[in-house]
Structure 1
Amino acid sequence: MRMSLGPFLGATVGLGLLSACVETAGPTGLAASEAATETELGASTEEQPFEVWAVDQSNTNGLTYGGTLYIYDGDGLTGAHGVNPVAAEVIDIGGETAALCLAQTGANPVRPHMLFFNAAHTHAVLSFVASGHVVIFDAATRAPIACLRSSPGADGARQAHAAVPAPDDSYILVANQNGKLLERIATDYAAGTFAWDHAATLNLATCIAPSGDPCQFPHIRSDNAPICPIIDAAGAHGFITLRGGGLFVVDPAATPIRIVGEYDEATVHGNGCGGVEARGSMFIDSGGGTAANLDQFDVYRFPLGGYAPTNPANTPPPEVVFTDGSPDRDAHGTLLTKHARTLWVLDRIQGVAEVFDVTTNARLGAVDLKGPYSSDPAPDLMAMSPSGNRIFVTLRGPTPLSGDPHASVGSTPGVGVIHVTQAGKSGKLKAITPITNQDGAGVERADPHAIQVRRR
Structure 2
Amino acid sequence: LRGGGLLVFDVTTTPMKVVATLNNNQIHPAGCGGIQVGETMYINSGGGWPVAPLSYDVYALDLSNLPKSISARLVSQRDDRFADSHGMAGVGRYVWSADRAGNNIEIIDTLSNLSVGSVELVTDANKDPAPDLMDNAPDGQYVFVGLRGPNPLTGNDKTVNNAKGTIPGVGVIHVDVGGKVGHYKGQAAITNMKDGKETADTHGVAVRK
Query: Fold-level match, TM-score > 0.5?
Result: yes
Which residue matches 1:393? Answer: 145
2:203 corresponds to 1:449: yes
- Kindly report structure 1 stretches of 4+ aligned residues shifted beyond 4 Å: none
| Partner AA of 2:114 in structure 1 | A
- 1:348 pairs, out of 100, 106, 118, with 100
Q: Residues 234-284 of structure 1, C-alpha deviation per residue, up to 9 Å, x if partnerless? A: xxxxxxxx1111111111232222111111111111111111111211111
- 2:82 pairs, out of 320, 328, 332, with 328
2:173 corresponds to 1:418: yes
2:53 corresponds to 1:288: no
Whole-Å separation in 2 of the counterparts to 1:285 and 1:436: 29
Whole-Å separation in 1 of the counterparts to 2:81 and 2:179: 28
- 1:252 pairs, out of 4, 8, 11, with 11
Whole-Å separation in 1 of the counterparts to 2:174 and 2:205: 17
Whole-Å separation in 1 of the counterparts to 2:11 and 2:129: 35
**1:296/1:326 contact within 8 Å kept:** no
**2:63/2:70 contact within 8 Å kept:** no
C-alpha deviation, 1:448, in angstroms: 0.8
If each structure's strand is expressed as a fraction of its own residues, which one has the higher value? 2
TM-score by length of 1: 0.44
Which residue matches 1:316? Answer: 70
**2:21/2:70 contact within 8 Å kept:** no
Whole-Å separation in 1 of the counterparts to 2:20 and 2:7: 6
**1:352/1:366 contact within 8 Å kept:** yes
Which residue matches 2:64? Answer: 305
C-alpha deviation, 1:286, in angstroms: 1.0
Whole-Å separation in 2 of the counterparts to 1:448 and 1:332: 13
**1:378/1:410 contact within 8 Å kept:** yes
- 2:155 pairs, out of 392, 398, 403, with 403
Which residue matches 1:266? Answer: 25
Q: State the aligned residue count.
A: 206
Residues 128-207 of structure 1 mapped to structure 2, 5 A cutoff: none
Whole-Å separation in 2 of the counterparts to 1:254 and 1:294: 37
Q: Residues 186-231 of structure 1, C-alpha deviation per residue, up to 9 Å, x if partnerless? A: xxxxxxxxxxxxxxxxxxxxxxxxxxxxxxxxxxxxxxxxxxxxxx
Which residue matches 1:275? Answer: 34
Structure 2 SS opposite 1:450: coil
Which residue matches 1:429? Answer: 184
TM-score by length of 2: 0.93
Structure 1 SS opposite 2:206: strand
Q: Percentage identity across aligned positions? A: 39
Whole-Å separation in 2 of the counterparts to 1:367 and 1:302: 24
**1:373/1:432 contact within 8 Å kept:** no
If each structure's helix is expressed as a fraction of its own residues, which one has the higher value? 1
C-alpha deviation, 1:328, in angstroms: 1.7
2:114 corresponds to 1:366: no
